[in-house]
């Protein structure tokens, strides 16, 4: 049977395209804000486009922050996409406004230092050894649309029994976090659903971990 995937429906604009891409990647996909479905599925996807504050308001309205926290506490997979990745960090600062995120990772989402914003288009990524998400597409390009990002990775793992997160970087003006693989929690700053065959492979790699 195909893994059950819920795309969290909190009003984000890229939900249907993400859902279609996940179906093609092998998932049995439902778009919903139903708490029980989101808790019981094999994999939860948190999409996101637009402003950090608006996405967090939508997520909190459907108790998405609680769902993410409880799933991760039980080792249940979660995938964030674009702003859905950004909200997993502690803070987002846009136009001088500091908005609290879900806080699964320390760090701040802030405006990139680059000559041209938004960062829109295809870009290569620097993939760490042993990546599961990027298996087979380490040297491919992916599609980004954003002006804000995480410029510093701040989570330090001091317990040797805990695997350090695998952090993928990209550069637009300066380096920024392009993807993270951290146990059951994964995320991409780029849009895999808009990244052609390479993005499809990333989603298929993630769905394959849910079985």
Active site residue 91: no
Residue 196 to residues 24, 143, 174, 182, 207, Cα–Cα distance (Å): 12, 9, 25, 24, 17
pTM value is: 0.97
Phi, psi of 181 (to 5 degrees): -125, 110
State residue 80's pLDDT score: 98
DSSP H or E segment with residue 86: helix 83-86
What are the tokens at 88?
């997993």
State residue 156's pLDDT score: 86
State residue 211's pLDDT score: 78
DSSP H or E segment with residue 32: strand 28-32
Half-sphere exposure of 13 (CA within 13 A, CB side): 7
Q: What's the CA gap between 56 and 63, in Å, rounded?
A: 10
**Cβ neighbours around 79 below 10 Å, total:** 28
Q: Which of 65, 119, 172, 191 is catalytic?
A: 191
CATH code for the domain in which residue 11 is found:
3.40.50.880
State residue 85's pLDDT score: 98
Phi, psi of 55 (to 5 degrees): -65, -40
State residue 13's pLDDT score: 75
Q: What's the CA gap between 114 and 175, in Å, rounded?
A: 10
State residue 160's pLDDT score: 79
Q: Which of 41, 82, 104, 119 is catalytic?
A: 82
Active site residue 82: yes
Which residue range is the domain that position 152 belongs to? 4-208
> Strand order of the sheet with strand 43-46?
28-32, 4-8, 43-46, 78-81, 185-188, 174-182, 166-172
Active site residue 41: no
Q: What's the CA gap between 120 and 43, in Å, rounded?
A: 28
Phi, psi of 68 (to 5 degrees): -60, -45
Domain count along the chain = 1
Per-residue pLDDT in tens (0 to 9) along the chain, 211 residues: 999 999 999 998 779 999 999 999 999 999 999 999 999 999 999 999 999 999 999 999 999 999 999 999 999 999 999 999 999 999 999 989 999 999 999 999 999 999 999 999 999 999 999 999 999 999 999 999 999 999 999 998 888 778 899 999 999 999 999 999 999 999 999 999 999 999 999 999 999 999 7
List of long-range contacts for 161-169, beta carbons under 8 Å, 24+ apart = 166/128, 166/130, 166/131, 167/128, 168/125, 168/126, 168/127, 168/128, 168/131, 168/133, 168/134, 169/125, 169/126
Q: What's the CA gap between 90 and 106, in Å, rounded?
A: 5
Strands 166-172 and 148-150: unpaired
Q: Which of 104, 140, 181, 193 is catalytic?
A: 193
Looking at the DSSP bridge assignments, the partners of residue 119 are 146
State residue 14's pLDDT score: 72
State residue 117's pLDDT score: 97
């Amino acid at each position: 049977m195909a893994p059950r995937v819920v795309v969290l429906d909190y009003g984000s604009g890229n939900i249907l395209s993400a859902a279609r891409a996940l179906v093609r990647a092998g998932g049995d996909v439902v778009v919903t804000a139903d708490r029980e479905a989101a808790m019981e599925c094999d994999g939860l996807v948190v999409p996101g486009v637009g402003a950090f504050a608006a996405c967090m308001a939508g997520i909190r309205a459907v108790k998405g922050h609680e769902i993410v926290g409880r799933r991760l506490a039980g080792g249940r997979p979660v995938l964030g996409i674009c702003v859905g990745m950004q909200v997993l960090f502690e803070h987002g600062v846009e136009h001088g406004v500091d908005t609290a995120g879900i806080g699964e990772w320390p760090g701040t989402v802030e405006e990139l230092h680059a000559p041209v914003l938004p960062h829109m288009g295809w870009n290569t990524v620097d993939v760490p050894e042993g990546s599961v998400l990027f298996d087979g597409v380490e040297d491919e390009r992916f599609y980004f649309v954003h002006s804000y990002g995480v410029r510093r990775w701040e989570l330090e793992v001091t317990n040797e029994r805990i695997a350090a997160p695998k952090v993928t970087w990209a550069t637009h003006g300066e380096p920024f976090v392009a993807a993270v693989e951290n146990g059951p929690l994964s995320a991409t700053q780029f849009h895999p659903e808009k990244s052609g065959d390479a993005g499809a492979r990333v989603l298929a790699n993630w769905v394959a971990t849910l079985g």
